[in-house]
Structure 1
Amino acid sequence: MRALLAFIAGLLLCLGARAADSVVVIAHPGMAHVDATTLQRLYTGRAVAVDGAPALVVNAPSGTPWRERFLTQVVQLDDARYVAFWTVRRHVGKGVPPRELATAAAIIDFVQATPGAIGYIPASELRPGLNVVLRP
């Protein structure tokens, strides 16, 4: 019985850790739903607008688990390959990588205050009133 309880407790901890790892994509109020393909294009500089309106995407700092999760799930690159991708793009004059903001709170504040802004945050930082456009 004790082993069963330990197993269940471990399983619950794993499920809780997975939920804590999840990310949500938020956008400035009024922006419509954005699909993963559009986000991939925005975060790789291959698109600069959503439904004809200019979009401004922001990143979490390199090395954060939620950035890695977002890049893996949505952009389909790990952090090292994403940085390398943008290094080449910048070198050949094809743009600059999205701005990085230090914290989830900074991303939330920026997205709320900037028309066309899109960012991602850990699901644990989600609060009422945010415009969630994608839950990868």
Structure 2
Amino acid sequence: MRIVKMSLLLSALLSVSAMADIAVVVNPANGNAVSTDDLNRLFLGRTSTFADGSKATPLNLPEGQAARDEFDSKVLNRSSAQLKAYWSKLVFTGKGTPPKEMADDAAVKAAVAADPNAIGYISSGSVDGTVKMVTTF
């Protein structure tokens, strides 16, 4: 009976951690507010600037990571396959380049902390004082 209870508890904890919020982060020096619509335009290559006109450099996590899948679904309203087809078309026609992919949350944090123009997303549990969280999903 004890093993069953432990298994259920472990399953519940894993489910909660798999559904962790996604935090959109920028450099602490960046004072721009960022809406879902802004994120959609930035990460789909429809704009390359923040609201104040300063350059924006969006950073993605690799395909297949849970945070990337959740961001693509909740923010961009597209599946991984849809985004792959979208970017393939833009790259092929010379009309766009997808956001740079970083290896993991730590790499996104380091890049955002080092570049005032960078914007990325990470698991909310990874946020620390080196970056500023502007919204969560």
Give the TM-score category using the shorter length: 0.7 to 0.9
Q: Which residue of 1 aligns with 2:56?
A: 55
Taking only aligned residues, the RMSD between alpha carbons, in angstroms, comes to 2.2
What is the alpha-carbon distance in structure 2 between the residues aligned to residue 28 and residue 63 of structure 1? 25
Q: Which residue of 1 aligns with 2:110?
A: 109
4+ residue stretches of structure 1 with deviation over 3 A?
8-12
2:75 aligns to what SS in structure 1?
Answer: helix
Query: 1:85 Cα shift?
Result: 0.5
What is the alpha-carbon distance in structure 2 between the residues aligned to residue 18 and residue 105 of structure 1? 18
User: Partner amino acid for 2:119?
Assistant: I
User: Partner amino acid for 1:61?
Assistant: P
TM-score for both structures, normalised by structure 2: 0.85
Show the 5 A alignment for 1:30-45.
Answer: 30-31=29-30, 32-45=32-45
Unaligned residue ranges in structure 1 (runs of 5+): none
Unaligned residue ranges in structure 2 (runs of 5+): none
Q: Which residue of 2 aligns with 1:89?
A: 90
TM-score for both structures, normalised by structure 1: 0.86
Deviates more, 1:126-135 or 1:75-84: 126-135
Percent identity between the two aligned chains: 30
**CA 1:100–1:11 in 2, change beyond 3 Å: closer, same or farther?**
closer
